[in-house]
Chain A
Amino acid sequence: MDSQASQAEYDGDFGSGAIRPVAELRGVSKSFGEVLAAQDLTLRIEAGEFLSFLGPSGCGKTTALRMLAGFETPTSGEVLIDGERVNDLAPYRRPVNMVFQSYALFPHLSVADNVSYGLRQRRPRIERRTIQDKVTRALETVRLTGFEKRRIWEMSGGQQQRVALARAIVNEPKLLLLDEPLAALDRKLRKEMQIELQDLQRQLGITFVLVTHDQEEALSLSDRICVMRAGRIVQIGTPQDLYDNPQSRYVADFVGVSNFFDGAVFIDAGGRARLRLAGGLEFEGRAVGDLAAEGEACLSIRPEQIRLSREPLEGGLEVVVQNRIFLGEHTEYLVRHAVLGPVIALAPRQSEIGASGFVQGERAWIDWPDGAALIMRRI
């Protein structure tokens, strides 16, 4: 079991102890009546990083964000911002700002008045001139110069999104919290805003914490992703870490696409982990995560790791091509193996079979390089 790359190691990559984290969750749990929304969340958020909470709806990611913002009080555990315990600090006393999923812009105020709202609440009062300058600069940053006097309902969805961003960043918060900020935008606009968000974060150096259920969004934006499931943190790591070293089927499935084959894990004479499947098949694989030495497990292989061939491959598996989807750069093949069932393979355009391609019903062979197969928990 070579890869016991635990969460602690991933966390360590960033923290390195020298700089105090901007925010921290220490064993934080939150229950709403009988429902446990978040359980034992422990996490350090480092200064200047772009962190995402990723998971399906109801996994507790929004609860985690709302506890950082101060809208929810943890049932147990500690929330720290800038080294100070803020469990009982009201939202309006926290140096964090949030971009809401619905934007929550004030409909009775102009764009400029929306953006200056936070600055106008500060005591002692900030000078009017200074407020104006900051608002101008914030609107410039989100490319909305000249929209100061506009009313909110005169703005498009994408523009409203930018007003919401400007309204938050103008306060120079320690943490910028983003609750599914791009969910309401159409696909093309979402792509654009993703790039803008990333630029903005680099330009401002503010720590961003994003909540999303969109794995692509999390992968393309984040320095680190915190994958959540049923109120718990499942794995934290850089996008590449999560993709290459998922510790469980849940993560492998949520971050990218993978083929999974259920079986029983055991350690062979050479000390290597192997998975025994039905029909007498056996595969070697790299065991990851906290996996028992023996028992139920599954094998995970990414589609792009699978090699397809017309010629019989030594130690390969014979399959029948069932379906072909042309994706431009790649062609996705759905093939069927007598024991494994359906397998997805991704063939690059330039590969030997890419140009002509297989046809439906054609016989083929598949295999994968050593180390491409991971043996992991089934959940």
Chain B
Amino acid sequence: MRIYSFCVYLFLYTPIAIIALFSFNAGRHASQLQGFSGKWYGRALDNPFVMDALETSFLVAFASATIASVLGTLAAVGLQGIRGPARALFDAVIYIAVMIPGIVIGIATLIALVTVFDQINPWLAALWPEGGAPPTLSMGVGSLIAAHAMFTMALVIIIVRARLSSLERELGEASADLYATPFGTFRQVTLPLLAPAILAGFLLSFTFSFDDFIIAFFVAGSETTLPIYIFSSIRRGVTPEINAIGTMVMGASLVLLIIAQLILRRGDRR
């Protein structure tokens, strides 16, 4: 059994370890080690295409995670008041949203957005005052943020709901009994107690959006996120530079996920 699990971990992590190892390769070929060097990291960070993609990725991840955290929290709090079959339905729909393959979400979002844009753009053109060029809605940062926020919102709802259901119902009643209005209770009791879960949800959403390739590939339009950049570079051959970028993305994601876990655990203890 021990050997078996050792093998599982070996298969899981060897490729990742190799990528990390080769990112320090002094030579310019990905397949043979030629001494140790950190120069590819410097090369990657100097590359304007990489930095552009990184900036887009950060912007999209931050915006979508923020939107997902706010809307997800509100949805979770709202769902708390619903009982019976309606509740079961909402629960099921949320879990399904997490389980649907990214490619399906990608295609569905693409079709939905294109259809909506096709409907709205003529209206915008018609309503726009004479003289100026009417704006046209198209794929880009906006659609990326929307698609990621939609998916990660389900994650936030699940995390916040778990925390909500572990809170005593009496806390809300105690607050109301002590003259706090419903909004006052939300602000002074519910929100602070949910904060760890919301923050963890935010970090998870950020990580998901930052790492996502599949959905981004469909809805990015002409924008390039970091995963899309990596994918397109690989077609020109795997260089140590790609390995370096991959290692940095992985490191950052890992740190965020660990922080999210720590926050959630600390929140549970109280």
Bound pair (A, B): yes
Interface size on B, residues (CB 8 A): 18
In the complex, are the beta carbons of B180 and A121 less than 8 A apart?
yes
Q: Which residues of chain A come closer than 8 Å to B178, judged between CB atoms? A: 92, 97, 117-118, 121, 167, 171
Q: Which residue from chain A places its CB closest to the CB of B181 in the assembled complex?
A: A92
A73 to B263, CA, bound (A): 39
Q: Which residue from chain A places its CB closest to the CB of B270 in the assembled complex?
A: A107
A107 to B171, CA, bound (A): 9
Q: Which residues of chain B come closer than 8 Å to A359, judged between CB atoms? A: none
Q: Which residues of chain B come closer than 8 Å to A108, judged between CB atoms? A: 189, 192-193, 270
Q: Which residue from chain B places its CB closest to the CB of A101 in the assembled complex?
A: B170
Q: Which residues of chain A come closer than 8 Å to B179, judged between CB atoms? A: 92-93, 118, 121-122, 171
A79-120 interface code vs B (CB 8 A; 1 in, 0 out): 000000000001111001110101011111000000001100
In the complex, are the beta carbons of A100 and B173 less than 8 A apart?
yes
Q: Which residues of chain B come closer than 8 Å to A64, judged between CB atoms? A: none
In the complex, are the beta carbons of A106 and B174 less than 8 A apart?
yes
B46 at the interface (CB under 8 A from A): no
B56 at the interface (CB under 8 A from A): no
Knowing A92-B181, A97-B178 are in contact, say whether A104-B170 is a contact too (CB < 8 A): yes
B142 at the interface (CB under 8 A from A): no
Q: Which residues of chain B come closer than 8 Å to A92, judged between CB atoms? A: 176-181, 184
A69 at the interface (CB under 8 A from B): yes
Interface on chain B toward A: helix, strand, loop, or mixed SS?
Answer: helix
**Which residues of chain B from 166 to 211 have any CB-CB distance to chain A below 8 Å in the complex?**
168, 170-171, 173-181, 184, 188-189, 192-193
**Which residues of chain A from 295 to 333 have any CB-CB distance to chain B below 8 Å in the complex?**
none
Q: Which residues of chain B come closer than 8 Å to A118, judged between CB atoms? A: 178-179
In the complex, are the beta carbons of B270 and A153 less than 8 A apart?
yes
A71 at the interface (CB under 8 A from B): yes
Cβ of B107 to closest chain A Cβ, rounded Å: 44
A269 to B177, CA, bound (A): 60
Cβ of A35 to closest chain B Cβ, rounded Å: 16
Q: Which residues of chain A come closer than 8 Å to B188, judged between CB atoms? A: 117
Q: Which residues of chain A come closer than 8 Å to B184, judged between CB atoms? A: 92, 121
Q: Which residues of chain B come closer than 8 Å to A122, judged between CB atoms? A: 179
Q: Which residues of chain B come closer than 8 Å to A93, judged between CB atoms? A: 179
Q: Which residue from chain A places its CB closest to the CB of B172 in the assembled complex?
A: A104
In the complex, are the beta carbons of B193 and A90 less than 8 A apart?
no
In the complex, are the beta carbons of B173 and A104 less than 8 A apart?
yes
Q: Which residues of chain A come closer than 8 Å to B171, judged between CB atoms? A: 104, 106
Q: Which residue from chain B places its CB closest to the CB of A116 in the assembled complex?
A: B178
A93 to B181, CA, bound (A): 9
B38-80 interface code vs A (CB 8 A; 1 in, 0 out): 0000000000000000000000000000000000000000000
Per a CB cutoff under 8 Å, which of B174, B181, B192, B270 touches A104? Answer: B174
Cβ of A106 to closest chain B Cβ, rounded Å: 6
A153 to B170, CA, bound (A): 17
In the complex, are the beta carbons of A90 and B176 less than 8 A apart?
yes
Q: Which residue from chain B places its CB closest to the CB of A123 in the assembled complex?
A: B179
Q: Which residue from chain B places its CB closest to the CB of A98 in the assembled complex?
A: B177
Per a CB cutoff under 8 Å, which of A102, A121, A153, A167 touches B168? Answer: A102
Cβ of B136 to closest chain A Cβ, rounded Å: 48
Knowing A108-B193, A108-B270, A153-B270 are in contact, say whether A102-B170 is a contact too (CB < 8 A): yes
In the complex, are the beta carbons of A100 and B174 less than 8 A apart?
yes
Q: Which residues of chain B come closer than 8 Å to A121, judged between CB atoms? A: 178-181, 184
In the complex, are the beta carbons of A71 and B173 less than 8 A apart?
yes
A108 to B173, CA, bound (A): 16
Q: Which residue from chain B places its CB closest to the CB of A97 in the assembled complex?
A: B177
Q: Which residue from chain B places its CB closest to the CB of A91 in the assembled complex?
A: B176
Per a CB cutoff under 8 Å, which of B177, B192, B270 touches A91? Answer: B177
A105 to B171, CA, bound (A): 7
A92 to B184, CA, bound (A): 10
Cβ of A324 to closest chain B Cβ, rounded Å: 46
In the complex, are the beta carbons of B168 and A104 less than 8 A apart?
yes
Q: Which residue from chain B places its CB closest to the CB of A115 in the assembled complex?
A: B178
Cβ of B181 to closest chain A Cβ, rounded Å: 6
Q: Which residues of chain B come closer than 8 Å to A105, judged between CB atoms? A: 174
Q: Which residues of chain A come closer than 8 Å to B176, judged between CB atoms? A: 70-71, 90-92
B144-180 interface code vs A (CB 8 A; 1 in, 0 out): 0000000000000000000000001011011111111
Q: Which 7 pairs between the two chains have the least Cβ-Cβ distance?
A: A104-B170, A118-B178, A104-B174, A121-B179, A91-B176, A108-B192, A121-B180
Query: What are 26 inter-chain pairs, A to B, with CB distance below 8 A?
Result: A69-B173, A70-B177, A71-B177, A90-B176, A92-B176, A92-B177, A92-B181, A96-B177, A98-B177, A102-B168, A102-B170, A104-B168, A104-B170, A104-B171, A104-B174, A105-B174, A106-B175, A107-B193, A108-B189, A108-B192, A117-B178, A118-B178, A118-B179, A121-B184, A122-B179, A167-B178
Q: Which B residues form the contact surface with A (CB < 8 A)?
A: 168, 170-171, 173-181, 184, 188-189, 192-193, 270
A102-B168, A108-B193 are known contacts; what are 16 more A-B pairs with Cβ within 8 Å?
Answer: A69-B173, A70-B176, A91-B173, A92-B176, A92-B177, A92-B178, A92-B181, A98-B177, A104-B168, A104-B174, A117-B178, A117-B180, A117-B188, A118-B178, A121-B178, A121-B184
